A and B are shown apart, each in its own frame.
Chain A
Amino acid sequence: MIERRPVANAFGHLMLVAMIIIVAFPIYLAVVAASHTIQDVSQTPMPLLPGAELLTNTARALFDGPQLVGVSGATPAIVLMMNSLIMAIAIAVGKIIISLLSAFAIVYFRFPLKNFFFWMIFITLMLPVEVRIIPTYKIVADLGLLDTYTGLVLPLIASATATFLFRQFFMTVPDELVEAARIDGAGPMRFFWDILVPLTRTSIAAMFVIQFIYGWNQYLWPLLIASDYKYQTIVLAIGRLIRAPDAFYEWPVIMGMAVLALLPPVLVVVLMQRWFVKGLVETEK
């Protein structure tokens, strides 16, 4: 629909600009705070223009970690980010593989209680991690998976959303394509790898972006599972830093760490944007 209504247009733009400012301002502040010395930041009012210390502060966050007076053993952000990365990638990749396979089974195979299983999966959509967190914790603890990557990743790896999305996509793949493959002699797994997965790649990319960010931003689950600093994620660590009691906060370094924590998701979105958008809107097959 194309309409020319200058007033409404201007209003729309104004709203968008306002929204962007509201969203972007705290991020801007974080960057500014990360670019000053600790003395400058501690003044009131705090400076609103960037300083010259951004690189020093982020480098310190990355390699040393913020020093908290009264708290020993700061973890450098590079370790935390590596943990986050492992967790986010494992969750995203795991979710995609499992969802692809379950959607494949649901769409292309006949087996007893197929609909029952589908609806079971579907219903879990309505149960976020938090709802089932106590039993899940108990199971993971009993399996001896506390403070392991497996424990961090495994309970989050099944995804009803992705299964549902891939199912919807598979159902739009024309039957004749399946039949052509059958005549060509492709067995089920061959068909899956050679034809279905390549056709789904844009949806897979979209799912990867969404699930990577989901994994990266996990807070509650790592909080329960990772008591050992070796397994902490960066989101978790930032949360811990500002809750340390009676501590002298190295704000610029903490902010540097927050900025660092933002980068990988942004990078993933930017790098995969083209595919991501395609995956969300594409109908051509």
Chain B
Amino acid sequence: MAKVTLKSVKKNYGPVKAIHGVDMEIADGEFIVIVGPSGCGKSTLLRMIAGLEAITEGEIVIGDRVVNDIEPADRDIAMVFQNYALYPHMSVHQNMSYGLRIRGMDKANIEKRVQRAAEILQLQPYLQRKPRELSGGQRQRVAMGRAIVREPSVFLFDEPLSNLDAKLRVQMRLEIKRLHQQLGVTSIYVTHDQVEAMTLADRLVVMNQGRADQIGSPFDVYGNPATTYVGGFIGSPAMNFLSCRVETGTGGPKAVLADGTALMLPAEWTPPAGNYTIGIRPETMRIARPGETAQLHLNVDVAEELGADTLLHGKLGDEDLVARVPSHAGYHDHSRPGLMIDIARAHLFDPESGLRIAL
């Protein structure tokens, strides 16, 4: 086991800048999830740690070795690929033991490790089968088995579950979590699925076009997104962003929205007056109770029934707003409910840079 450190790691593909400089300290035994939309450089970053991609600039340290010029096989890592990358002509047993055989490990030891990994992953009945005779989930387990038998100090996963169906994905997600608790090996996991990211991560890295916008615990990233980008990416449906003007006057600061609605801000917030973007999570809004004066009225275009909740999609002025309310609230398309906002959980962002304003 080892800690992993990235020091302003950059990657250029010719003139294309894929990674603009990522700094990260990963503690021993930590489960890090790198999340972001397609093309943001997640795989590139992971592959640089694996040694499959050359590092243009910066340094990667695994344990206490700088590994920039070390071959993947000697970095003490193991990788699980999205499409499993099992050797099609080898049995499950051979697939798992191949790396050990190359290393020249003795038979008894190999056998011990393979059996143990097979036991952990419940693969014993399939050891003699070829990959094509296995289901997707079983193949993915073999791929993990191949990583486990190496007993590496770092596991790298590149979207390992995205080829599986939804149900299996949930199951394998749990299995990966359990495996990590059991083995305690430092893991770096790439995904574009935010549920996977939230549930697996000790810490989350949200990537945005080759930069790490925020690194933090899932709770922190969700509750205090560093940028509008992070707020928009983590959470489903996404955080609402409304442009507003903050006025400081008698009776405390208030945010005036584009349609004229004025929201009182918590008294302890002291932003200078000016233009901002206010970020409001859909679930921090609720229907106004009878007798309450609604803070804003939403013209609902579509009410999406999800079962437990209903999503009210509507417009405030010409800006979109989504509110998540309990299902039995009885609102339909084209209704106009009055809403209350838990304003303490809202955030102000700089409208130009998208950075959250510390309050």
Using a CB–CB distance below 8 Å, which chain A residues touch chain B?
A: 174, 176-177, 179-186, 190, 194-195, 198-199, 284-285
Contact A176:B98 (CB < 8 A) given known A183-B72, A184-B73, A195-B87 = no
Q: Which of B51, B79, B85, B146 counts the most chain A CB atoms within 10 A? A: B85
Smallest CB gap from A200: residue in B: B89
Question: Does the CB pair B103–A180 fall under 8 Å?
Answer: no
A176 to B86, alpha carbons, bound, how many Å?
Answer: 9
B37: Cβ under 8 A from any A Cβ: no
A25 to B74, alpha carbons, bound, how many Å?
Answer: 66
Please pick, from B72, B78, B87, the residue contacting A177 in the complex, using a CB distance under 8 A: B87
Q: Which of B71, B79, B87 counts the most chain A CB atoms within 10 A? A: B87
Using a CB–CB distance below 8 Å, which chain B residues touch chain A?
A: 50-52, 71-74, 77-79, 81-83, 85-89, 98-99, 102-103, 132, 146
Please pick, from B87, B88, B89, B99, the residue contacting A183 in the complex, using a CB distance under 8 A: B99
Grouping DSSP codes into helix (H, G, I), strand (E, B) and loop, the A interface class, with mixed when no group exceeds half, is helix
A94 to B336, alpha carbons, bound, how many Å?
Answer: 81
Please pick, from B83, B87, B89, B102, the residue contacting A190 in the complex, using a CB distance under 8 A: B102
Question: Does the CB pair A183–B98 fall under 8 Å?
Answer: no
B82 to chain A: closest CB distance in Å? 8
Smallest CB gap from A285: residue in B: B88
Please pick, from A177, A194, A198, the residue contacting B85 in the complex, using a CB distance under 8 A: A177
Please pick, from A179, A180, A186, A199, the residue contacting B89 in the complex, using a CB distance under 8 A: A199
Question: Does the CB pair B89–A198 fall under 8 Å?
Answer: yes
- Nearest first, the 6 closest Cβ-Cβ pairs linking A and B are A185-B73, A184-B99, A176-B85, A180-B85, A198-B89, A185-B102
28 contacts between A and B (CB under 8 A): A174-B83, A176-B85, A177-B87, A179-B52, A179-B72, A179-B85, A180-B79, A180-B87, A181-B87, A182-B52, A182-B73, A183-B51, A183-B72, A183-B73, A183-B78, A184-B98, A184-B99, A184-B146, A185-B73, A185-B99, A185-B103, A186-B73, A186-B102, A190-B102, A194-B98, A195-B87, A198-B89, A199-B88
Residues of A within 8 A of B98 (CB): 184, 186, 194
A198 to B72, alpha carbons, bound, how many Å?
Answer: 24
Smallest CB gap from B158: residue in A: A176
Question: Does the CB pair A180–B73 fall under 8 Å?
Answer: no
Residues of A within 8 A of B79 (CB): 179-180, 183
A203 to chain B: closest CB distance in Å? 13
Q: Which of A180, A181, A186, A199 counts the most chain B CB atoms within 10 A? A: A180
A39 to B290, alpha carbons, bound, how many Å?
Answer: 120
Smallest CB gap from B73: residue in A: A185
A181 to B94, alpha carbons, bound, how many Å?
Answer: 13
B50 to chain A: closest CB distance in Å? 7
Question: Does the CB pair B132–A284 fall under 8 Å?
Answer: yes
6 more A-B residue pairs beyond the given contacts A177-B85, A179-B52, with a C-beta to C-beta distance below 8 A: A174-B85, A176-B85, A177-B87, A181-B87, A183-B52, A183-B78
Residues of A within 8 A of B132 (CB): 284
Please pick, from A176, A183, A199, A284, the residue contacting B83 in the complex, using a CB distance under 8 A: A176
Residues of A within 8 A of B72 (CB): 179, 182-183
A106 to B146, alpha carbons, bound, how many Å?
Answer: 30
Question: Does the CB pair B99–A176 fall under 8 Å?
Answer: no
Q: Which of A182, A184, A199, A284 counts the most chain B CB atoms within 10 A? A: A184
A190 to B87, alpha carbons, bound, how many Å?
Answer: 13
Residues of A within 8 A of B81 (CB): 176, 179-180
A183 to B78, alpha carbons, bound, how many Å?
Answer: 7
Residues of B within 8 A of A285 (CB): 88
Residues of A within 8 A of B82 (CB): 176
A180 to B88, alpha carbons, bound, how many Å?
Answer: 12
Residues of B within 8 A of A181 (CB): 87
Residues of B within 8 A of A177 (CB): 85, 87
